[in-house]
Structure 1
């Protein structure tokens, strides 16, 4: 092994002579890895009949860094994590945590803005979104 850090040009690609096919595949997977898409968090949406249950997996994020809102049927979950000042002065040999923000949105066509609830425990945000209950105005009509 020549180095622990692979050679990268300024465009994130190795020289044109890869040592193996795995190096080519690694370059394709690594290209653009610093984008916000790599910081996206997984979300599950379940239809419970009278409500939707949305679970966002936010391991390592504190409750204060999470923002949840419902706007015209679109549920948005935003996370904003910033590096602490005390961590900037440390002499890390390797550091993979950086400041980032990410937002995931889910469109729930018949979501009600009343009765919403959210709980955050063990790195999982669970949002319960009730559905709009359409009142059926059925009127019996007498036939003459």
Structure 2
């Protein structure tokens, strides 16, 4: 289905309401700047399901394996990355020093997963996490009567 976008008529031409105020466009352009794209935005992840497991493929290009932390806590799997990069270069007539720091994290809700059997592999910038399925809890369906 297509998205509904509110429009208003200004000077005989349809104009989006957010274009009139400009604040939405300002924030979109600000946070889509390449500066934020490198460190500020969460990474992309694909989730696949098979009969026996769920598989998360997270794109983490250029990340050192030692900077990746994966933990399960209270039913949530959290992937976090902390990068700290420093370049010191000295040559005749100039000195170059650059530093950058960034961290980001993403969490996924787990349901019916064997938490002790979760495995992770990092290869060619892709973190693959395998989550074996557990047998679903035997939840029963009950009807609740509404009282007057």
TM-score, normalised with respect to structure 1: 0.62
Give 1:91 shift: 6.1
Report matched runs for 1:1-12 at 5 Å. Answer: none
Deviations 1:90-122 (A, max 9, x none): 267xxxx83110001111211211211110000
1:27 is displaced (CA, Å) by 4.1
Give structure 1 stretches of 5+ with no counterpart.
1-20, 137-144
Partner of 2:41: 39
On the 8 A contact 2:118/2:132 being kept in 1, the answer is yes
Q: How many corresponding residue pairs?
A: 109
- Whether 1:90 aligns to 2:96 is yes
2:60–2:125 contact (8 Å) kept in structure 1 = yes
* RMSD of Structure 2 on Structure 1 (CA): 3.2
Q: Relative contact order, CA 8 A, sep 6+: which one is greater? A: 1
Residue 29 of structure 1 deviates from its aligned partner by 2.8
Change (3 A) 1:30 1:65: same
CA contact (8 A) 1:73 1:110 kept: no
Contact 2:88/2:97 (8 A) holds in 1: no
Q: Which 4+ stretches in 1 moved above 2 angstroms?
A: 24-39, 133-136
**DSSP-derived class of the 1:29 partner:** helix
Contact 2:81–2:103, Cα closer than 8 Å, also in 1: yes
Structure 1 residue 73: Cα displacement = 2.5
Aligned pairs for 1:23-62 within 5 A: 27-32=26-31, 33=33, 38-62=40-64
The corresponding residue for 2:131 is 129
